Chains A and B, each alone.
Chain A
Amino acid sequence: SPNVTIAPDALVCDEATLEGSITIGPKCIIHPKAGIYAKDGPIVIGEGNIVEEQTKIINRNPPGITGNTTLIIGDNNIFEVNSEFSGKFIGNNNILEAKAKVGPNTKLSNNCVIGARFHINTEETLPDNTVICGDDYLRRTNNDKLPQQSQQLDYLRRILPNYHFLVQSKPTT
Chain B
Amino acid sequence: MATLLQVDRVQYVFDSDTEESQSLARLYFCIYCLALRSSDDLQHEDDSHFCPQTLDGVASQEAVSKKNKCSNLWRCPSCIHPLFTRATSTLYPPSGESSKPTVKMVYYQVCTFCRWSTRCVGIPDKEVLTGTWAEKTNPTLPRITKLFEYYKYLEQKEKRDNARRSQKKKDFLSIPLQLKQKYTSGKSPGKKSVLGDPLSTLRMKEPSMLKEVEVDSSPTLGLEDLEVAAPGEQVDFTSFSSIGQRLDQPDSQVVSTKEFVPRRSNMFLKQSLRCKTCDHNIIKPEYSPTSIKFKIHLIALNHIPEIRVHKACQLSPGVQSRVILSLCNPTEHVIHTTFLPLDGKLRQPNAQIELPKSEVMVGKYDEASDLLAQPGASPDSIPDDPSLIAYRRGNKVGFFVDVLPDSGLTPGDEIWVGMRFKHEHFGAASVALLLKGEGQVECTWLTHTLYVNVGHVI
Contacts and interface: CB of A to CB of B under 8 A. Distances in A.
Given A131-B115, A133-B79, A133-B114, A138 B242 contact: yes
Contact of A140 (B78, B122, B244): B78
Interface string A123-165: 0000000110110101111111010000000000000000000
Interface residues of A, number: 15
A143 B115 CA distance: 10
Contacts of B79: 133-134
A130 B115 CA distance: 11
Contacts of B122: 143
B276 to A, nearest CB: 39
Contact of A143 (B119, B237, B244): B119
A138 B243 CA distance: 11
B114 A136 contact: no
Contacts of B348: none
Interface in B198-252: 237-239, 242, 244
A92 B239 CA distance: 23
Contacts of B239: 141
Nearest to A132: B114
Given A139-B237, A139-B238, A141-B239, A131 B114 contact: yes
B238 A143 contact: no
B242 to A, nearest CB: 6
Contacts of B116: 140, 142
Which of the listed residues A115, A134, A146 has the most CB atoms from chain B within 10 Å of its own CB? A134
B60 interface: no
A138 B248 CA distance: 15
A113 interface: yes
B113 interface: yes
A159 B115 CA distance: 27
Contacts of B78: 138, 140
Interface of A: 113, 115, 130-131, 133-134, 136, 138-144, 146
Interface of B: 78-79, 113-117, 119-122, 237-239, 242, 244, 257
